[in-house]
Structure 1
Amino acid sequence: MKTKFLKPTILVLFSILFYSCNTTTCNHQLESKSCYPNDSLPSQVITYSEMINMMDAYDNGAKKELNKYLKKVSKGKDSVSTKYSWYKLEDLKQYIAYVERISKEKDITLTGFRIIPSSYPKDHKNPKLRNRTTLIFTPTTVVNNKMDVAFEPLYSKKGKPTLVEDYLNLVRNNKLKNSSFSNERYSDSLLSSSANRLRPSPPY
């Protein structure tokens, strides 16, 4: 009797483990294998020499101007611009899993993310973040054979991506309420599918 039920039980157990490893959150692992479909060395990896050259080019160019700007707008209180931004791994996984899910629900292919340089405004609620550089992650899809077009999966219709640029223009011009995109989810603070909430250094 024990032998009769042993094989089905093992099969069910392995099925659960396999499923948990293939969910978009990728929180579990089977033995030592990665949950991700491809964990080989990516082509985007760079050498330390490349890192040094790029970091030095930034430090000797754009960063100097950013430091000058920060010193000017802070009236000498701060003169060191953002050194780096940090994202907690679990938060990053959750964000990717969330965007993958809502894109799949809309039958829209998620191709990647635009990482857009930006700055916190001078009147930001956190005084320590004001005027500091930061990054915004925005989902992308294929439009007119371009793979990196920023789109809004949250409000897109099935198979029809709505462009982030369209929403930005409407919000900038205070025209969203009267647009074809207006719906019951509209508010003065319309939620997007883009992400920020990075921890920059300084000030942390």
Structure 2
Amino acid sequence: MNLKTLNYFAIVLCSFLFFSCNSNCNHKEIKYENEKLSCYPNSNKPSQVITYLEMAEMMDSYDNGVKKEMNKYLKKVSNGKKTTSTDYNWYKLDDLKQYIAYIERISKEKDIPVTGFRIIPTSYPKNYSNKELRNRVTIIFTPTTIIDGKYDAAFEPLYSEKGNPVSVSKYLEQVRAKKVYTGSILPKFESTESSSVNKFPTVPPK
């Protein structure tokens, strides 16, 4: 191979590496007051934003209805030690970004499109390992895809086969029935890992 040919291939290789490194983002990152704006395909105002009037009415409705009943329940099950239910859950931005990136990666490996996330209201059980969180309201994030024409079907990318998403409800039913997954890649129900998340700070406790 002569020097001219070698130089040509070197230029092609460098060009490929340059465009590969920039292929994840179609927009240049903009520096603004020493901060970089994240690159997303759509940063327009979403249609789901609400007014402060709507926010106030919804929060007041919750405080004067559901939360009052939850406070009564919490006071009862804690024998009066706790009187205020969950005010809010807090999620670190980097944690949310990492979670979304993780779900997108493991789902892409299975050739399954992610349509969104279900945000499921739950509460910590009365025997939860963290005593401060017992009986408090919380939420669980679970990825969704298209199953039987439903765009919000909760699925488990960890145990799905390529192009064939498996429903989260399948594993919930097995765990509740305390079945052992013999002849399967899955471990016993006690240690079956999911792709859903929850372990974020809850207030109270602070």
Output one character per residue of 1:60-79: Cα deviation in whole Å (capped at 9) or x when no partner: 10000000000000000010
What is aligned with 2:195?
A: 193
Q: Percent of aligned positions with the same letter in both sequences? A: 58
SS of equivalent to 2:181: helix
TM-score (norm 2): 0.84
Letter in 2 for 1:50: E
Match of 1:127 among 112, 125, 131: 131
What is aligned with 2:156?
A: 152
What is aligned with 1:30?
A: 29
What is aligned with 2:106?
A: 102
Aligned length: 192
Structure 1 gaps, min length 5:
1-6, 23-28
Match of 1:172 among 173, 176, 190: 176
SS of equivalent to 1:177: coil
Q: Which shifted more, 100-109 or 29-38?
A: 29-38
Per-residue deviation, 1:170:
0.6
Q: Quick one: structure 1 residues 177 and 185, their matched pair in 2 at CA, closer, same or farther if it must change by over 3 Å?
A: closer
Pairs within 5 Å for 1:5-24 = 15=19, 18-19=22-23, 21=25
1:137 equivalenced with 2:141 (yes/no): yes
State the distance in 2 between where 1:9 and 1:46 align: 50
SS of equivalent to 2:187: coil
State the distance in 2 between where 1:13 and 1:101 align: 22
Q: What's the Cα RMSD here?
A: 2.5
Per-residue deviation, 1:189:
1.0
State the distance in 2 between where 1:193 and 1:176 align: 19
Letter in 2 for 1:30: E
Q: Quick one: structure 1 residues 13 and 144, their matched pair in 2 at CA, closer, same or farther if it must change by over 3 Å?
A: closer
Output one character per residue of 1:50-100: Cα deviation in whole Å (capped at 9) or x when no partner: 100100110010000000000000000010000000011101100000000
SS of equivalent to 1:141: strand
1:118 equivalenced with 2:135 (yes/no): no
SS of equivalent to 2:143: strand
Per-residue deviation, 1:145:
1.4
Per-residue deviation, 1:20:
5.5
Structure 2 gaps, min length 5:
1-10, 32-36
If you compute each CA radius of gyration, which structure gives the higher value, 1 or 2?
Answer: 2
State the distance in 2 between where 1:18 and 1:45 align: 32
TM-score (norm 1): 0.85
